[in-house]
Amino acid sequence: MAPMGIRLSPLGMAVFCLLGLGVLYHLYSGFLAGRFAFFMLSEPAAAGPETSRGSAPGGAVDLRELLAVSVLAAVRGGEEVKRVREGNVLNAKAKGKTREGAEEQLTSGDLLSNRRMFYLLKSAFPAVQINSEERVDAAEQETVSWDHTIPEDIKQKIQPKEVPAESVTVWIDPLDATQEYTEDLRQYVTTMVCVAVNGKPVIGVIHKPFSAYTAWAMVDGGANVKPRSSYNEKTPRIIVSRSHAGKVEQVARQTFGNKTVIIPAGGAGYKVLALLDVAEKNQEEADVYIHVTYIKKWDICAGNAVLRALGGHMTTLTGEEISYTGSDGNEGGLIASINMNHKALIEKLPDLEKTSHK
């Protein structure tokens, strides 16, 4: 009941209520809109720029994305390799002996390239197993992000393709041809990334830091490199490690004739590029690549993938496919070729297999 002498007007009450509702709307509309926006942005954004399909453990990995990151990792690692060499701050030291008794060298270029490549790949695809030639020191972890940019040449040639993350193994060689690197034989040096799916190499990236040349290929996808137009099966030019030239030369000449050319060279990546059409001033050309002793898988996985994508072959000296799971070493040596009768080459060189375990 209203105080004595005051009568409440129905119209006034209605106006008062409307003003009250207006004040409440003004106070809470922003809050409610903000909560609604938060709810919407909190939904899974499968195609958002901040989300990697390969980032969730047990999820899927898009091989096109992984190729793009692999190319970037090889280039970024190569920048470190080049910077250290040009600054002449190698800090080279022996890290052990090979099975042949030669001293293996380790430089700042190896370590800095490895750190840059490993953490870039790991930040983009944390669920994927990564095997690298050099040990990764957790105390030196660095944050390296990928902006999810896919280069136009990869977009044009490669379609998205997803595989289970647990089926993928990435092999990194942060500095191939370290011995030649210390001798300033820059043409042999490469950085490499390989992606294997269920043990089979499907993506290969080979980057030459001192000329900024990069070759990449994806099996059943595409490539930015191609085979040369001609090869010589009768008297092939055979490219081998500098330390193995003597072992291969005698058998090769007996098999193919005295006109066979043996090309000593450094670096597995460089040797694979010798089989391809590479417009590089310091790149030699060969028909066959042979290695007659034990070799690590990060040395050869990228080259194997590139050759497979282009229709070539890289096998052990007895013709067995090389699996990129399990141990990090390949015991059976290797023979690589493209646009040649690979089986016939293996049959012609039976004696080389005997030396592969020495």
- Annotated binding site: which residue ranges? 133, 173, 175-176, 299
Output the known binding site for Mg(2+): 133, 173, 175-176, 299
What is the spatial distance between Cα 286 and Cα 268, in angstroms, rounded to a whole number?
A: 13
Active-site residue flag, 178: yes
Identify the active-site residue in 107, 169, 178, 293: 178
Name the β-bridge partners of 215: 206
**Which residue matches tokens 């039976």?**
350
Name the β-bridge partners of 205: 193, 216
**Which residue matches tokens 């840059």?**
116
Name the β-bridge partners of 103: 97
| Burial status of residue 35 (CB atoms within 10 A of its CB: 0-12, 13-18, 19 or more) | exposed
What number of other Cβ atoms are within 10 A of residue 270's Cβ? 27
Helix (DSSP H) and strand (DSSP E) numbers for the chain: 10, 17
Identify the active-site residue in 62, 110, 214, 293: 110
CA angle 112, 296, 172 (to 5 degrees): 35
**Which of 301, 122, 287 has its CA nearest to residue 217?**
301
What H or E segment, with its residue span, contains residue 96? strand 93-97
The set of catalytic residues is 110, 178
